[in-house]
Amino acid sequence: MANPANSANPAEWERIDHRKERMSELSFGEKLLIARRQLDLYQYEMAERLGVHANSLTKYERGEGKPHAAVMRIFEMLCEQEGIRFEEYETARRDKGEKMKIVLAEKVSPATLAVFAAEPGWEVLTHDQLPEGLPAALADADALVVRSAVQADDALMAFAHKLRVIGRAGVGVDNIDAEAATRRGIVVMNTPGANAVSVAELTIALMLALARKLPAANATMHAGKWEKKSLQGMELRGKTLGILGLGRIGLEVAKRAKGFGLEIIGSDPFVSAAVARENGIKLVTLDELIAGSDYLTMHVGLTPQTTGVINAKSIAAMKKGVRIINCARGELIDDAALVAALKSGQVAGAALDVFTVEPLKDSPYAELENVILTPHIAGSTGEAQEAVGIQIARQVRDYLKLGVVQNAVNLPSLSHEEYVVLAPYIDLAGRLGEFLAQAGKGGIEAIDLVYGGTLADAKIDLVRNAAIAGLLAGSENVNRINAAAVAGERGIRIHEEKQQEIPHGGAATTLTIKLHTATGTSHVTGTVINGEQPRLIEFDSIAVETPLEGNLLVCRNLDVLGVIGRIGTILGEHGVNIANFALGRERAGVKPAQALAFVQVDAPVSDKVLEALRKIEALTDAKLVTLPEAGF
């Protein structure tokens, strides 16, 4: 076996060797993972049983932080009540366990290496211990760990007949062919959120730099000038910080901002009001966030809904003198609109760490003194790089030892026969989720999923996760594997129900998603016809059948004469071609009844068209829902 200590401090490896003698006892975090797996619990469900926040449970499972003695006791009582035993895992450790081969294809820190080296009987090869090359080393390897340089493509995987997992120390997986990995039954994992503290700290630093004009102060001093009068700044205390996106990074920013006496508001349709409250954040709409912020920082992923969210229209709605910080995605900002606002004084200053095209060249920002520019360094700290390495090592270790999948980005293995049966319903679930996210009410607090007919007997994990991923499609780093875990972290409760008999006409198999928000509930039911065509068959208790693809105008109206004609007339006047028209109305109740019109059009309609439709007297709402073309 190759010696993994060649590239590490010998003293560190001596300590590791001593620790091996004490490895028969599982850590609290490992026991949590085992218990959750045996009880089939989400993180938030286990957190509720232990009386802790879901974020605390995440830290415990990662080996971070020490739980209170009362939490340990509650966990012990839970394990006793449920009959959970850990002896077989501890015995496996004492017996040296199953041997594994880990290939670290790129340079990692000694602490990352130590996670694997502490496992008895595991062979660990580092990037400088591959004399015959990476393909030869992978021939009998169980795990491959990469950063961003190694291309883990299908050709490389063809050499790795035993490979079970590829770990990416970082977020982006552009260098890994996840589809090929799925075909080969290899789990691909990444480490989202490991750099959250580093990004949050830079965000705060940029806010302070804007408030106190630090770049100008530094430049004038280096130029031999003493210009105190022109460098008068302002305090952060008492100002309003708006945070767009309340994922891990957004919440870390909020924690640090509270210490400066800032009032904190946040907007994120995928975070519950309870999570926002617990973090001292007032949850508001996007429009309220835009209008109410003195400082605005963005921490969202890039989606059709977030692309260009900072544009001429949104900037015009902001307070005069607002300051904008972007450490997320360059494409969130319409650069021309921001440059114009910086020149006019509508925006007093901006601090940008990310850009639409990188590296930044010939940018109009470079000419502006009220802009701070940094070269995408938010996550570039020694601590962050160490954290992603340790986190991926722990995830890979836990998967190989315990079978626990964390932060996977590809589909788990299904037999070909199972996948053929489930694929149309996985697709349906994602479409229903996306539809409800766009047509329903925002601010998710809970999600109910009801599987009807043959789905009640199927392996529904991917169906469930596809539905949640669709609902959270505007959130960062959400996929069909981690969707349920992300929902749990954000305080969104998931309830599932199986019904053998279904009340939806001739449909043999149905899926219903019910969304609970602070402003009410909304639900949608769908099915698949002819084995491959996703159909919506009910929306908010109104039966209607429409294809779940393309551009859908969803109109709510009172069931009175003339509404349908007016919709058609307005669309015709604006040159919009109608591909399909579906109608539904309440079957009983007060008159006039509520009705729905689903108008499938060839291309997305403009805001001008939507505004014209909303002026129809009996029309109560009109929304555009955009879904992928059918096919899976």
Catalytic residue set:
329, 358, 376
Q: Are 484 and 408 in contact (CB under 8 A)?
A: no
The DSSP call for residue 283 is: E
Report how far apart, in Å, the C-alpha atoms of 63 and of each of 113, 115, 141, 395, 605 are: 16, 11, 26, 11, 50
- Determine how β-strand 101-104 pairs with β-strand 493-499: unpaired
User: Which residue(s) pair with 48 in the sheet?
Assistant: none
- Determine how β-strand 509-517 pairs with β-strand 444-453: antiparallel
Q: Are 443 and 517 in contact (CB under 8 A)?
A: yes
Collapsing DSSP to helix, strand or coil, 286 comes out as helix
Collapsing DSSP to helix, strand or coil, 580 comes out as strand
The string of DSSP codes covering 267-280 is E-TTS-HHHHHHTT
Q: Are 482 and 405 in contact (CB under 8 A)?
A: no
> For residues 36 and 139, what is the distance between their CA atoms, to the nearest angstrom?
33
**Region for residue 291 given its phi and psi (left: phi exceeds 0; alpha: psi -120 to 50; beta: otherwise):** alpha
Q: Cα-atom radius of gyration of the chain, to the nearest Å?
A: 27
H helix intervals, 403-491: 416-439, 461-471, 483-489
> For residues 363 and 356, what is the distance between their CA atoms, to the nearest angstrom?
11
Q: Are 540 and 464 in contact (CB under 8 A)?
A: no
Give phi and psi for 538, each to the nearest 5. -160, 140
**HSE-CB of 183 using CA atoms within 13 angstroms:** 8
> For residues 104 and 5, what is the distance between their CA atoms, to the nearest angstrom?
13
Give phi and psi for 209, each to the nearest 5. -65, -40
